[in-house]
Amino acid sequence: MTIALIAGARPNFIKVAPLWRALSQSPHVRPVLIHTGQHHQPDMSDIFFEELDLPEPLRCAPISNIECSWQATMAMSFRIEILLRSLRSDWVVVIGDVNSTAAGAIAAHRLGIPLAHVEAGLRCGDLEMAEERNRILADAYAQLLFVTEPAGVANLLHQGTPSERIHLVGNVLIDALFQILPKAEKKRWPDVVCRNAYAGQPALLSLSEAEGYALCTLHRAENVDCHAALQSLVSAIVRIGQEMPVVFPVHPRTERRLRMWGLWAPLFEAPAVVLLHPLSYSDMVCLEKNARVVLTDSGGIQEESVVLGVPCLTLRPSTERPITLQSGFNMLVSTRQPEAILEWVKHFWEAPLPAPAYPPLWDGRAAERIVRTLLAAPRPESVALPWRRSLLPQVV
């Protein structure tokens, strides 16, 4: 049996690693990893293949100079389709909600190859977000839907997905987190910061291992592609830096926008804000685990914070991961109110925290459950849309 795993962006590479390992242990499976080229820079791609012991993938030509999200998705889907034709895959597996996820789902559907979607059923309710449209599309095309939390099951059933296609299996990101933790725990966070910092920042001189820091990440389009939103967030980060150190690994997309709009210098010159180059997974987990509080718009970091027991402020009006809110370690904050963000950071900096409580099935064995279900599933005779087609005009 040949199973094609589609990955193309930083979060995909992390989540595909446990699946690759689990599939590789089966003597009857030939897993093949396809890199869509969405994130092709070495510090956003190759570093994860090396650290997570992933094999050299089949590579699509990188996607560059395409600003439109949907055009980039379609370009990737055509490249993926060429590779899938040569593989004669029995299943295609896509993960998460990035453009590579939608591209892989479209390619599999066009070729009539059964599709499995890992992290299915997550919904934030905002169709303006590319990630939300990608989730809906991948779920619509999938014959097997692997879900991380009970809310995802409820969302799929509400939309008419047949229950026999839905499998609550846990979270492959947490599998990857447990696998990288021993390496991350051997690192000192000041060493990680100094090794990855942009040179010449005054804030490097003021870091104190005893005092701690707030960790910040930003990459979503609604935060970094909107000048007003990004300017407000920069004001919040600078303001927080007047109260406590802030460590900020900068996504390449975010750096481009900061420089384009003249917002890089205020951060770079802030006396207690340290800007970092993109990080390896173990470096990032080291910084997450040792942070006093995390500010982020990342879905994965919301989940990791729950397991690591670190308070998280999600810089978005909604989340597709409600289980993180129920844990007591995550809350939503408005990106347009810098002073409110500061107040919540100060609150979590000082507040006692509950003991971490792992959500059901977040035990590091999600990939095993997925592979067991995938190998036992009969190959569908037809891969026509398995449920109502009415959602797709809103997506495509």
Q: Which residue stretches of the chain are H helix? A: 10-24, 46-51, 69-87, 99-111, 130-141, 150-158, 172-185, 189-196, 221-224, 227-241, 252-260, 264-268, 281-290, 299-308, 322-326, 338-350, 366-376
CA 141, distance to chain mean position in Å, is 21
In which residue ranges of the chain is pLDDT below 70? 64-67, 206, 210, 381-396
pLDDT, position 395: 42
Q: The CATH number of 2-171+362-394 is which of 3.30.70.100, 3.40.50.620, 3.90.1150.10, 3.40.50.2000?
A: 3.40.50.2000
CA angle 133, 143, 25 (to 5 degrees): 110
Q: Name the 3-class secondary structure at 7.
A: strand
Q: Which residues of 342-364 are buried (b: 16+ CB within 10 A; e: fewer)?
A: bebbeebeeeeeeeeeebebbeb
The one-letter amino acid at 98: V
Q: Which residues are catalytic?
A: 219
Which residues, 6+ apart, have CB-to-CB distance to 221 below 8 Å?
Answer: 69, 129, 130
Q: Where are the domains of the chain?
A: 2-171+362-394, 187-350
Same topology, domains 2-171+362-394 and 187-350? Answer is yes
Closest CA to 166 of 146, 152, 148, 151: 146
Question: Using CB atoms within 10 A of its CB, is residue 244 exposed (0-12), middle (13-18) or buried (19+)?
Answer: middle
pLDDT, position 385: 54
Fold observed for domain 187-350:
Rossmann fold (3.40.50)
CA angle 314, 235, 320 (to 5 degrees): 15
Using one digit for the tens of pLDDT, what is the confidence trace for 30-71?
A: 999 999 988 877 777 788 889 999 999 999 887 766 667 788
Global pTM value? 0.93
pLDDT, position 251: 95
Closest CA to 394 of 157, 184, 135, 192: 135
Count of CB atoms within 10 A of residue 121's CB?
Answer: 26
- Rounded to the nearest 10 degrees, what angle do helices 299-308 and 172-185 cross at? 60
CA 7, distance to chain mean position in Å, is 12
- Rounded to the nearest 10 degrees, what angle do helices 99-111 and 69-87 cross at? 50
8 Å CB contact between 118 and 15: yes
Using one digit for the tens of pLDDT, what is the confidence trace for 183-208?
A: 999 999 999 999 999 999 987 776 77
DSSP H or E segment with residue 28: none
Q: How far is CA 361 from CA 77, 169, 200, 305, in A?
A: 32, 7, 45, 16
The encoded tokens of residue 365 equal 């064995």
pLDDT, position 94: 98
8 Å CB contact between 135 and 98: no
Q: Name the 3-class secondary structure at 50.
A: helix
DSSP H or E segment with residue 146: strand 144-147
- Rounded to the nearest 10 degrees, what angle do helices 172-185 and 10-24 cross at? 100
